[in-house]
Every structure is written in structure tokens, then in C-alpha cells.
Amino acid sequence: MPASLQDQLVVAISSRALFDFEEENHLFETGDAAAYMRLQLDRLDAPARPGVAFALVKKLLAFNTPERKRVEVVMLSRNDPVSGMRAFRSAAANGVALERGVFTQGRAPFGYLRPLGAHLFLSANEADVKQALALGFPAARVLTESAPASEAHPDEVRIAFDGDAVLFSDEAERIYQSGGIAAFHTHEREKARQPLPPGPFKPLLDALNRLQNAGGGDGSDGGAPKMRLRTALVTARSAPAHERAIQTLMAWRIAVDEAMFLGGLPKGGFLREFAPDFFFDDQTGHTEHAARHVPAGHVAAGVANEPPARSQGAKPPTA
């Protein structure tokens, strides 16, 4: 019977998002591919340090047991096969069991998300992330300068999401941009019981919800790992606009463990308290601020990421 990734949470990740390859990447970006390959070959037996998304990947893989594989992580990289060999060796040296990888030697790799059926793509390459989002895959540009993940919750994967243009569509943001804050609040109050259309990360939240409900997390089903998953909605929405966000999740039959309606307060301190292994936001400024505290990724979706000529005014308090 052929191998299959069906019924697994599939995460595709670039080697630079998984490991600290910033020094090597600097050489890669000079255009001297031969020198880059020589450097990686010279360092073949020198394990790379963990990168921004390493903790997330290691914890997700801990959901796998000998009885059942629930998560598959695939390296999907513009690197050459030699560099890919170093990435695999680095994974093994850091206690991460990776089995699959695609290395394209400079060619854009995002097309391989389709045969993988990926639920998430993490990369430090902005162009690849945008193309993945255009294909309908949840994708984020990893901020390689992010703070490391907290070690406070070793048996719990923690993931935090912005709301509008991430979990939800950017419908509400567009109302704000065209009509201002009063129009936004009127619109959201009138449509409080009407679910928002899904945003680019709704499929990932679906997949995480299935993983969360797969076994109970306490080993009671015989094959379940002793790992838990905790999710949070971290949004600048405030009352009365909070209600539509909650009603939307209820309509989707998806629960988040925590919801923070911050009314425009900076998210960084709240994220530091929640201590996510990763946070996703569509706003460059919000993502950069969050990265001072937690691992963060930018989701280049929605009106806030359109060219300036099409995106007028300030960011609405809906993120």
C-alpha cells in the first residue's frame, strides 16, 4: 500500500525557518551559489542551531506515537541537496525526526504544497509565502529575528492567531477603511450573528482542532501522546465587535482556548504571558512588535498588505 499523509497535520517548512542559517543565507544572497554550497559542505557535520520555528515543529512532532502518526513535517526549501543533507543531519542532532524533504536549488518550492496537501507553510522567503497564500495555503513569513519560544510549557503546543485577515476574512477591515470607526462598529453590530467569511488560516485552525480532539492528550486512549494543544485569538477588536468573532467560531464549530479582545492595546505583553510557540498576524508592525517577545510570522493577506494606492488610511482596530 502506498505511503499517504491523509489524516495527518502536514507542516511544510524551509530550512532557514527551522534552523539558524542566517550566516549561510547571507552568502547565498550574494549570488555565489558555489561558495554557499562549499560552506554547507564544510559544515556538514556541524549541526545548525535551532531557528525560530524549531520549538513549534519539535512539539508538534511529539504528538506522534509508535501506534499512530498524527503530524508530518516536510522540509521544503530553495536549498540544494547538499545543504538539504546538512539540514537533515541538524534535525537528527537536535532530536527532531524528519523523514521527507524537497530541495529545489534556487527554484521556488511552493508548488509542492499541493501534492503534500500542506496545512501550513513557514518560510523566511516573502515571495514564496505570498505565492503559497495565493494558492490557498496557510502560509507565513517567519521573522528570523524573533525571540525564542518560551520553555515554560514543555508538554503543550501553544499557537496564537490574529483575527481579521488571518482566521477571518478582511471584510471588517475594508469597512473601516472606507467608512471609519463608526461605520465599522455599526457594521459589526448589525452583522453580529452573521459569521465572517473564512480567512487564510481557517484551514490550519480546522486541522489543529482535529489534532486537539484526536486523543485527549493524557494517554487514556492507549495511543494518544501526552501532549496538549492550546490556541488563542489575540485581536485588537473590542466590544461590541468581539461578538461577531465569537459567533463566527461557534458557527464553524471550532473552539479556541483563549480569546483576547484588546481594543488596540499592544499585543506583545499579552503574547509574552500566553507564551505561544508561534504567533500569526497580517500586520507588519504588529508582527515585528510581537517578535520582540515570541516567535512570530507575517501573513501577507488582506487589505493591509495591498499596494498603498489601493489601501487608504490607517489600520482598523480589528486585527
Give the amino acid at 60.
L
- Residue 311's pLDDT is what? 45
* 156-305 shares the fold of 9-142: yes
Average pLDDT over residues 298-317: 71
Each residue of 23-62: pLDDT tens digit?
A: 888 888 887 878 888 898 999 999 999 999 999 999 999 9
* Mean of pLDDT values over 225-244: 90
The CATH homologous superfamily of the domain defined by 9-142: HAD superfamily/HAD-like (3.40.50.1000)
Per-residue model confidence as pLDDT tens digits over 109-154: 999 999 999 999 999 999 999 999 999 999 999 999 999 999 999 9
- pTM score, two decimals? 0.91
Architecture of domain 156-305: 3-Layer(aba) Sandwich (3.40)
What does the pLDDT average to over 264-275?
A: 96
Tens of pLDDT, residue by residue over 69-83, are 999 999 999 988 888
- Residue found under cell 547571507: 26
Q: What are phi and psi of 85, to 5 degrees?
A: -65, -40
Q: Indicate which residues carry an active-site annotation.
A: 162
* Per-residue cell: 89: 543531519
The domains of the chain are located at 9-142, 156-305
CA–CA dist 77, 9 (Å, integer) = 19
SS3 205: helix
